[in-house]
Chain A
Amino acid sequence: MSTETSHVAGEHPDLPPPSTEVGIIGWIRHNLFSSTTNIVITVLTIYFLYVIIPPMLNWIIFDAVFSADSRDDCRAIAKAAGHELGACWAFIGKRFEIFVYGFYPTEERWRVNISFILMLAALLPVLFDNVPNRKQALWFSLIAPFVIGWLLVGGMGLTPVPTDKFGGFMLTLTIGVTGIVGSLPIGIALALGRQSHMPALRMVCVAFIEFIRGVPLITLLFVASTMLNYFLPPGTTFDLLLRVLIMVTLFSSAYIAEVIRGGLQALPKGQIEAADSMGLKYWQSMRLIILPQALKISIPGIVNTFIGLYKDTTLVIIIGLFDPLGMGRASLADTKWQGLSTEIYVFVAIFFFVSCFSMARYSLFLEKKLHTGH
């Protein structure tokens, strides 16, 4: 029998949910111990973490040596401290500059530093719309790439630095950021072109997209490094890094175009009809109505492509450019530090993880910000 006091029909008050359903206890019950299977998985997971994490922390931090002059030195320091040798981070410390700047001349590295700061400053107003004076700031973002290019390459008052001296993280950032910034507008143009009513334009876009998607990036990079010399008139010098930048940008733009096309197709036809019926012109409808929605839908796919592009920059090693991974492998040849490949790969992995994870988080932030309840 019900113990509840009776109510007049239609006048039942709103009651709070039972205490076992809310708060920390409710959450734990629901998510960790809701069924036998769930309990088993929870217990196994906790055991797995217990087995994995302490030794990992020992290797990375507690048993690690942070400053030493050689691997033997590392071992000696660990022995003196009375524990096994964990990671020998001293190696990374000694090599840190070359990881960051590559072979960029030591006395010119301030230019890389300023470029990095300029890049962050230029990205800020593009990524966040609550930056003060955003309009002026966006003008700065538009000019910044040229200033950065000048700073890095030199000339016009600065000592020229040949691009084959670029390396390490600055090379990754140069290729990655250029590719990302360049491929988004090209990708949008290709996606719109592929939907165009003009058959010639459509065919050019389709051919471009399908060709680029059908060829591995490595092949394109080889083409960039060797074949272009055959096609171009003899005597033309075409900077290797510039060729790589162009190839990476085009490669990624084909993928971006397809991701955005998916977003465009997901929009109901009524959106463009409503825009048409109000007299908006094609470019106005695209800019104000269609693209904001299509790009919003495409954010996960776009960022996914960008993360892929960023990691693919490591492929430049095969045409003789040294990104952090390449630098790491080259460093292994040093007899004083032999056998420390784990440290190098972990370090490079952390660098890539931090970059890519930031992109992923930004993508989530953007999705949340643009959510308008539809």
Chain B
Amino acid sequence: MSSQPEAVPELKVSDELVIKIKDMHKWYGSFHVLKNVNLEVNRGERIVICGPSGSGKSTLIRCINRLEEHQQGDIIVENVELTNDLKNIDAIRREVGMCFQHFNLFPHLTVLENCALAPIWVKQVPRKEAEATAMKYLERVKIPEQADKFPGQLSGGQQQRVAIARSLCMNPKIMLFDEPTSALDPEMIKEVLDVMVELAKEGMTMLCVTHEMGFAKTVANRVIFMDEGQIIEENNPHEFFDNPQHERTKLFLSQILAH
């Protein structure tokens, strides 16, 4: 793969359950996208979700913060059950950060304003304080000097790092990554992965939909393979890559690792 991040030392995963998905189903109209998904995530886990396109992996993590609505089954995040109750949805979204494939930065706001916006309006943090926090996270993703620029003036890799900083400003307990490097030029993938590795080292609970198998091998403690809306196989990365069980997984890996 395009880059091989340095290995994350074995982090201890706590046995505190932060996400519990039970018998979850989702349909788009009459199309059954997610079929009986069961997943439990403990605090500190780094989970990589992979699978062919259309397998429902993005939909799965988008269900966790209710960007998509599930129709059956339970999703419990940080002890809050995801229902139609807006209060619960807001509570969960305050704890869960998300990074998108296309960054989704707000183009009419500067980088700093992008980062400080949600703390100011959702958490009522005073502007000065929110901006100071934003600068802190911009320094962590190594682009403090771009704070006053607009997203359109940054490269893709820089934009994605801003997006990560923007999520971190809300001080989330869980981070969701929806193909964070798929829209990037090869040269920029590493700078984004490096930031994600840093996050993992600090013990952030992460769910990451990605095709970066190098990242999966070194950072993840668990790899989940999905196909046709179902979780086909899940294992630690070592077993997953060296000893895949399911035929479908073997085929996928042979295709993705072929060159």
Contact = CB atoms under 8 A, between A and B. Distances in A.
B170 A273 contact: no
B93 A372 contact: no
Interface string B142-158: 00000000111100000
B121 A284 contact: yes
B102 A270 contact: yes
Interface stretch (A65-73, A274-282, A319-327): A274-282
B104 A274 contact: yes
Nearest to B67: A273
Contact of B122 (A271, A274, A278): A278
B220 interface: no
Contacts of B93: 276-279
B128 interface: no
Given A278-B93, A279-B93, A374 B118 contact: no
A274 B150 contact: no
B107 A277 contact: no
A372 B122 contact: no
A296 interface: yes
A284 B119 CA distance: 12
A292 B117 CA distance: 14
A279 B151 CA distance: 21
B150 A374 contact: yes
B90 interface: yes
Q: Which of A273, A278, A372, A373 has the most CB of B within 10 A?
A: A278
B259 interface: no
B90 A372 contact: no
A370 interface: yes
Contacts of B118: 278-280
Contact of A292 (B97, B108, B150): B108
Interface residues of A, number: 21
A373 B146 CA distance: 14
Interface residues on B, range: 20 to 34
Given A271-B106, A288-B117, A280 B122 contact: yes
A278 B122 CA distance: 8
Nearest to B154: A373
Contact of B106 (A274, A276, A277, A279): A274
Nearest to B96: A277
Contacts of A373: 150, 152-153
Contacts, number: 69
A372 B150 contact: yes
A337 B97 CA distance: 76
B100 interface: yes
Contacts of B102: 268, 270
Interface in B57-82: 65-67
Interface in A270-325: 270-271, 273-274, 276-281, 284, 288-289, 292-293, 296
Interface string B81-93: 0000000001001
B124 to A, nearest CB: 12
Interface in A358-374: 370, 372-374
Contacts of B96: 277
Interface string B135-177: 0000000000000001111000000000000110010000000
Q: Which of A293, A296, A374 has the most CB of B within 10 A?
A: A374
Q: Which of A273, A277, A370, A374 has the most CB of B within 10 A?
A: A277
Nearest to A373: B152
B46 interface: no
B217 interface: no
A230 to B, nearest CB: 46
B25 interface: no
B132 to A, nearest CB: 18
CB-based closest 9 A-B pairs: A374-B152, A373-B152, A270-B104, A274-B104, A278-B118, A372-B150, A374-B107, A279-B93, A277-B98
Given A273-B67, A278-B122, A288-B117, 4 more contacts: A268-B102, A270-B104, A274-B104, A284-B121
Interface of B: 65-67, 90, 93-94, 96-98, 100, 102, 104-108, 117-118, 121-122, 150-153, 166-167, 170
